[in-house]
Amino acid sequence: MPPTVLLSDKIESVCPETLKKAGIAVVEKSGLSPSDLEKEIGQYDGLVVRSATTVTRGVLEKGKAGALKIVGRAGAGLDNIDGVAAQELGIKVVNTPGLNANAVAELTVALAIVLARKLDLAFSSTKAGRWEKKNLVGTELSGKVIGLVGFGYVGRLVAKKAVGLDMTVWAYDPFLKPETLAQSQATAKTLDEIWTGADYVSLHLPKTPETVNLVNEAVIAKLKKGAILLNCARGGLVDEKALYQALKSGHLAGAALDVFATEPPADNPLLTLDNFVATPHVGASTLEAQLNVAEEVARLLVDFLKPGA
């Protein structure tokens, strides 16, 4: 019997095609709840998810009792997979870091430009028939300091693009290497230096118990008056209530989130503010990024399951 893989989220066709070419049977069932997935998972050798499926301990235990050997995440983040349970149960977890990094980096810079030039307000007012040129005076990114909290694949690409815009780049990462800094023309700074001195603060961190609400009320109070906060990393890194107060009071000039603690962010007061920009978790949503992660996660499962070996 060939190994069988369940694709529980919608994914580019290159993923199932690659698996099938390698002799792996594929079943595609998206939209399964954790309880539905628990009922299904025992019959599969592998599981491929994106961000919609939550792989709980219960799912992994049911999978281990059956045939499950590997879970592949088409993307970098692993916060929707119980990694501790997977390790305890001996189930391999793989992901595809870096392959959608450029898409996220481009969105980060785009949102910074939108806020600096008030483009969201310019778009909506002009389309509504208003000509509000005098009310839409913005600022330039050139000459500003951007502080990157986290300097992995995405952070380094943001740095490269920011340098191209004549920005000064500061970076904080506990695993920062001198050669990485040299290649990216960034300067190492402490978190406090970034909080208090950067004109733009951009988050590029995983969501862990240590980073949940990292940007809390106390940190937001430290941010430079008139600073702009960007988060295209993971929801839950920012205390959204504290951010709302800082934007409403004018302490921060603006903020942009592609990710929220609760998605979709129904009735979130941030959405009522003119100096707040939001996108619906589309950081990795480019044709190029989706093809890259879909192909790579399939390759990882093929290498692990080794059909016909």
194-233 tens-digit pLDDT: 999 999 999 999 998 999 999 999 999 999 999 999 999 9
Model confidence at 265: pLDDT above 80: yes
C-alpha distance from residue 42 to each of 10, 63, 211, 234 (Å): 20, 4, 33, 30
Model confidence at 187: pLDDT above 60: yes
Domains 4-99+288-305 and 101-278 share a fold: yes
Query: For the chain, which residues make up each domain, given as ranges?
Result: 4-99+288-305, 101-278
pLDDT, tens digit, 9 for 90 and up, residues 145-168: 999 999 999 999 999 999 999 999
pTM (2 d.p.): 0.88
- Going by pLDDT thresholds of 50, 70 and 90, the confidence category of residue 181 is confident
Six token digits for residue 215: 């940007």
> Which among 234, 240, 295, 296 is annotated as catalytic?
234
pLDDT, tens digit, 9 for 90 and up, residues 93-123: 999 999 999 999 999 999 999 999 999 999 9
> Which among 50, 204, 281, 296 is annotated as catalytic?
281
Residues near 277 by beta carbon (within 8 Å), at least 6 away in sequence: 111, 114, 115, 120, 254, 255, 256, 257
Q: At what angle do helices 101-116 and 287-305 cross, to 10 degrees?
A: 150
Bridge partners (DSSP) of residue 47 are 6, 71
Model confidence at 30: pLDDT above 60: yes
C-alpha distance from residue 264 to each of 47, 191, 258, 308 (Å): 25, 30, 11, 43
For residue 221, what pLDDT is reported? Answer: 98
pLDDT over 90 percentage in the chain: 90
- Going by pLDDT thresholds of 50, 70 and 90, the confidence category of residue 89 is very high
Distance CA 66, CA 158 (A): 43
Bridge partners (DSSP) of residue 202 are 148, 230
Model confidence at 177: pLDDT above 60: yes
For residue 307, what pLDDT is reported? Answer: 75
Distance CA 221, CA 6 (A): 46
For residue 84, what pLDDT is reported? Answer: 95
Pick the CATH number of 101-278 from 3.30.1360.30, 3.40.50.720, 1.10.3470.10, 3.30.565.10: 3.40.50.720
Alpha helices in 142-216 (DSSP H): 153-164, 178-184, 191-197
**What fold does the segment set 4-99+288-305 form as a domain?**
Rossmann fold (3.40.50)
For the question of residue 204 being annotated catalytic, the response is no
- Going by pLDDT thresholds of 50, 70 and 90, the confidence category of residue 308 is low
For the question of residue 130 being annotated catalytic, the response is no
- Going by pLDDT thresholds of 50, 70 and 90, the confidence category of residue 126 is very high
Phi, psi of 126 (to 5 degrees): -65, -40
- Going by pLDDT thresholds of 50, 70 and 90, the confidence category of residue 76 is confident
Q: Are 244 and 269 in contact (CB under 8 A)?
A: yes
For residue 167, what pLDDT is reported? Answer: 98
For residue 77, what pLDDT is reported? Answer: 82
Q: End-to-end CA distance of the chain, in Å?
A: 12
Q: Are 9 and 49 in contact (CB under 8 A)?
A: yes
Model confidence at 309: pLDDT above 60: no
pLDDT, tens digit, 9 for 90 and up, residues 44-71: 999 999 988 999 999 999 999 999 999 9
Model confidence at 137: pLDDT above 90: yes
For the question of residue 251 being annotated catalytic, the response is no
Q: To the nearest whole number, what is the mean pLDDT of the chain? A: 95
Cα-to-chain-centroid distance, residue 43? 31
Looking at residues 73-101, what average pLDDT do you find?
94
Diameter of the chain by CA atoms?
A: 70
The identity of residue 178, as a single letter, is P
